[in-house]
């Protein structure tokens, strides 16, 4: 899979993409990242990518010309490139969307900035995504969040078999509590069932804990989760 990121601040991505799972994905050859400087597509010699908004108002707006030039260059390389603008007006990004994007061969993430992007960009996009109802300085952090969530779902990236399938949101529930050594820490003990070796009992306990945690912290998720008659008794 290839993930392109179009940004005014390419250096922003240098460290995150060289760490942890994102680095591992590249070393395995499962994902290729390419950071594209939007200024390379600006038509003037000063590489200007923003201007004052028509109608007045505070701040600056990203210009349409360099954005469209970058998108066309990407699609000329690969007509199947799926182009996404990170935007507060977009659909809320979730685990289901991460799975959809992970199934694609090539996605491009466009990072907005300043007061926004010339609205005519919508004629050239495949979709817009938002990571939440709050304001960030630009689209770089959302682009990293999307890239991380998508990359971990690409086959071969995560180490353990089934690791992704059991994580929070994959089942529609928050993940069950996890523990490791030491068995006792400052009087707090690991639940006895996890030490029993009874895999069926452990599976039941984990399901119960996931349901209880979700009901307490995110009851809205229960409406979409697959609840069995056994779950109803918990």
Q: What is the pTM of this model?
A: 0.87
Quote the CA–CA distance of 140 and 115 in Å, as a whole number: 14
The C-alpha angle with vertex 138 and arms to 17 and 143, in degrees rounded to 5, equals 35
**Do 66 and 41 contact (CB within 8 A), yes or no?**
yes
Q: Tell me: pLDDT of 147 over 90.
A: yes
Q: What is the CATH number of domain 2-151?
A: 3.40.1280.10
Nearest alpha-carbon partner for 169 in 127, 208, 136, 213: 213
| Rg value, the chain, Cα | 22
Residue 136 near residue 114, CB atoms below 8 Å: no
Dist CA 110 CA 131 (whole Å) = 14
| Token output for 181 | 């050594």
Q: Where are the domains of the chain?
A: 2-151, 168-232
Residue 160 has pLDDT above 60, yes or no: no
Is 78:24 a contact under the CB 8 Å cutoff?
no
Residue 66 has pLDDT above 60, yes or no: yes
Common-topology check for domains 2-151 and 168-232? no
- Report pLDDT for 161: 45
Residues above pLDDT 70, as percent of the chain: 94
164-198 pLDDT per residue, tens: 555 545 567 999 999 999 999 999 999 999 999 99
> Does 2.60.120.620 match the CATH number of domain 168-232?
no
Closest CA to 83 of 46, 36, 51: 36
DSSP 95: H
- Name the CA dihedral angle for 196, 199, 200, 202, rounded to a multiple of 10 degrees: 60
Confidence label for 37 from pLDDT (cuts 50, 70 and 90): very high
pLDDT at 169: 58
Q: Is the pLDDT of residue 47 over 80?
A: yes
Query: Stretch 145-166: mean pLDDT, rounded?
Result: 81
Q: How far apart are CA 11 and CA 5, in angstroms?
A: 12
């Amino acid at each position: 899979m290839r993930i392109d990121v179009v940004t005014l601040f390419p250096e922003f991505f240098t460290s995150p993409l060289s760490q942890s799972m994102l680095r591992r994905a590249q070393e395995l050859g499962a994902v290729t990242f390419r950071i594209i400087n939007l200024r390379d597509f600006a038509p003037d010699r000063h590489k200007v990518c923003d201007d004052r908004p028509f109608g007045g108002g505070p701040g600056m707006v990203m210009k349409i010309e360099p954005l469209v030039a970058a998108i066309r260059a990407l699609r000329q390389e690969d007509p199947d490139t799926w182009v996404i603008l990170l935007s507060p007006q977009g659909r809320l990004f979730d685990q289901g969307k991460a799975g959809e994007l992970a199934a694609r061969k090539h996605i491009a993430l466009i990072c907005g900035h300043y007061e926004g992007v010339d609205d005519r960009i919508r004629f050239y996009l495949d979709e817009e995504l938002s990571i939440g109802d709050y304001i960030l300085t630009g689209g770089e952090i959302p682009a990293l969040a999307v890239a991380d969530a998508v990359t971990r779902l690409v086959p071969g990236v995560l180490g353990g078999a089934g690791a992704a399938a059991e994580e929070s949101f994959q089942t529609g529930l928050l993940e069950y509590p996890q523990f490791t050594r030491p068995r006792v820490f400052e009087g707090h003990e690991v639940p006895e069932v996890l030490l029993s070796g009874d895999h069926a009992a452990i599976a039941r306990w984990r399901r119960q804990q996931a349901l209880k945690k979700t009901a307490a912290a995110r009851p809205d998720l229960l409406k979409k989760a697959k609840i069995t008659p056994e779950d109803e008794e918990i």
